[in-house]
Structure 1
């Protein structure tokens, strides 16, 4: 059986070429060094040192072994240093999944804060719709997912993060609607600009119309919030979008929100991790940041 301490004593003795000096470096007694080398030589079945009057010298076999021992201890030292850096969050990586809109409008401040606090941590972002992100999380491809709620999966631990207030926005082409509160029928008759099918946002708005007895078919389907905002601004119709995502456009008058007689219910954003997988220290630090910041985002 390999005894790591034997090899450590062997390496120091080979470098010092003296049992007493090696013992002093190792803070053990000289007989302990001598005994360890004797035990090691007996276990290997060969001599590693020539005993001389003023010290020791490596045999041919000892010289052959030394280069491997030095490489092994150097590798162990590198491993220990790497673990220390991981523990201190000087190194590592975090894999996060979310939709483009959530990354830009909700996660970016937290990502910036995390990056400033731990610049050595590599941040890997992957985007997609909630079902795709959830699948990647369950399969272990990402550490943490930020997604639309409700979401219920026994494999995941899910916590609320922020509330989203949705609205329909239009551009100057619909200026006559500024002071008018729309019925569901009037809203459904407008050209609608919605996210592409399959997204949680699209499912939500279609279900909201269906609950009121309306089945809508959008005039324009787009894959990003930025495009929704731009097409609404250009007068193509009413875009369904989260109010916080277009706050600047609403403030500067490029868009205005349609008033509805039947208000839209709020939605929640949450973050999820796997129940059966312990997070890395880098990922755990990010999740703790999300938990801390969630109070101010709700």
Structure 2
């Protein structure tokens, strides 16, 4: 397509739409009909330009014009509470649901590494000797591991845990811009840390304490980290294989989807942090603490499965609603 000729032919249409958008509050009936018609026509022009041209200025100009025209046609945005409800019933769960294969893969791979590392450490006194002196290991398994959950006030501890876990999740999301490769390192270090600690506790005959303190908050916490990693890996893979869409468009859409994941995980990690601060070190029986953790995990997975599957059936993708550069053509 000759883009210069295309611009020359359609420039009057774009200018007229621009005029109508500026005067949207004083349009008569015929002009409103013209606004709707031109909005649909220019939205189609935008689609053509995006698929045929690499001119970012032209794409940006038409994107802005179509977005403003859409706002004029559709009127005011929905109330904030509707946007809030939509995020938690559509945007976040469908983004998580659509990437379930990626975070399931991250979960299984991390679990395999953690179990292998734990078994190796637990069964090898030589490895244990490399990890620390007998006094250091004894301090860890008899005091430090359990004391970690109760040595600080619950409020400040919850804030610390939330910040730390949010940072790990943020790393997984941020590293997606590097094709997701560093995410594998983050997952590896996290799995080795859990596995080594578990192995040392098992070698000392304290597996019950380890799992009794890890499971209540760890199920939801690690699920959040794996979801962040899965979404980041999916975005990284999109750069390699964008599918039938242009690579720039695919990356933009998946990038906006990952924003939904990042925002949603802030709350998920807050919940896991509260469990870690209030439930894990509590005097409740071990079965009760584990039960709370399992219930929280089941609730989250059920939430993602129910709302995510429903949103997929409705054709939702998790893309940020009303994104200015993705406007449907009429």
TM-score, normalised to structure 2, is: 0.23
TM-score, normalised to structure 1, is: 0.25
The structure, 1 or 2, with the larger RCO (C-alpha pairs under 8 Å, 6+ apart) is 2
Which of the pair has more CA radius of gyration?
1
